[in-house]
Amino acid sequence: MADTTTTTPDDAPAAPTRRRLRRSESDDTRRISWWATALVAVCSLTVLVPLYLAVVVALKTPEQLAAGTGFEWPNPVRWENFGEAWRRTRFPQALTNTALITVGSVVLTLLTSSLVSYGIARNMHRRFFKGAYLYLLAALFIPFPIIMLPLVKQTAALGLDNQAGLIVLYTIYGLSLNIFIYTAYIRSIPIELEEAARVDGASTWRVLWQVIFPLLTPMNATVGILTCVWAWNDFIMPLVVLTEPGSRTLPLAQYVFQGQFNTDYTVAFASYLMAMAPLLLVYVFSQRWVISGVTRGSIK
């Protein structure tokens, strides 16, 4: 039987209309993408301009810095500032101390914060665990200067006025924020995964380390980065806790450039760039794991 279906005049322009709508939506998307790209480019200047200024100052002599506005490229370039900063800060020793404290803090933070957060997240319906969660969150509102002096006395009395004590303190003081980050993410993980593992005979510890902990890769990356940047750049806590000059960190070693009446900005900025370089190298070599962890968490 022949097809007797006919096209009415009202249906005839439907296809061109849909094409025009799709073309209009595509143009709007490109326009929004262009504005977003332009906004990101402008915002990036807030980082690139200070970074350029830091590089320029680090390559100048004090006379060149005093003669110009600070943004001119030095001529000639003074590379000796980096050698002077290396010598005056005892850079290898300070770098080793900072690296040990940072790595120890990151490892201990990831292990303890994930463990405590898992216990709280899976027992939030119980009064004790909910109270512990609120108690830890309340610590976020306590400024560090308020407890700074009691901290000095306690660390001295307990023999924690050293690098090991700093690792413990960074782990403890980061616990509140880290638990807040971890707990919300763990509660979004389906509990059926744990129940299936327990049916197969897995214990609670095995469920935590073989089922839950691998799924925490995005949060591990976030907490690890926050702890690493904090422990690497912190100045106040090492200043009040460390007592031996040989255990000082990079921020403490750079304090040598601050005089009573003047500051050696050129050598100081050279030391700042040297201290920043290891963190940049760590990010370059670890960015694929960080990005893959975030991607895995978005797919989960």
- CATH, residue 179: 1.10.3720.10
In a domain, 152, yes or no: yes
Residue 226, token pair as written in the block: 């926050």
Domain count, the chain: 1
Is residue 75 assigned to a domain?
Answer: no
pLDDT at 68: 73
Burial class (CB in 10 A: 0-12, 13-18, 19+), 286: middle
174 within some domain: yes
Domain containing residue 156 = 91-249+283-299
Q: Which pLDDT score, from 0 to 100, does residue 298 have?
A: 43
| Res 8: pLDDT | 47
Phi-psi category of 2—alpha, beta or left, where left has phi over 0 and alpha has psi -120 to 50?
Answer: beta
Q: Looking at the domain assignment, is residue 155 inside a domain?
A: yes
List C-alpha distances in Å: 167 to 145, 151, 174, 250.
19, 14, 11, 15
Q: Is residue 36 a part of any domain in this protein?
A: no
**Cα(8)–Cα(5) distance, rounded to whole angstroms?**
10
Q: In angstroms, rounded to a whole number, what is the distance separating the alpha carbons of residues 80 and 27? A: 54
With beta carbons less than 8 A apart as the criterion, state whether 241 and 151 touch.
Answer: yes
Q: pTM for the full model?
A: 0.79
Q: What residues of the chain score a pLDDT lower than 50? A: 1-2, 4-12, 296-300
CA–CA separation, 186 and 132 (whole Å): 17
For position 105, what pLDDT does the model report?
A: 94
CB 124 within 8 A of CB 130: yes
Q: Are the C-beta atoms of residues 73 and 135 closer than 8 Å to each other?
A: no
- Nearest alpha carbon to residue 151 among 250, 236, 249: 236
Per DSSP, what are the bridge partners of residue 263? 258
Which pLDDT score is estimated for 110?
93
Q: Let me know if residue 258 belongs to a domain.
A: no
225 occurs within a structural domain: yes
Spatial distance between the Cα atoms of 175 and 178, rounded to a whole number of angstroms? 5
Short-list 191, 196, 175, 170, CA closest to 117: 175
pLDDT score at 128: 92
Please tell me the total number of residues recorded for the chain in this structure: 300
- CA 197, CA 194: separation in Å to the nearest integer? 5
Which one-letter DSSP state was computed for residue 257? G
- Residue 272 in domain: no
Looking at residue 27, what is its pLDDT? 54
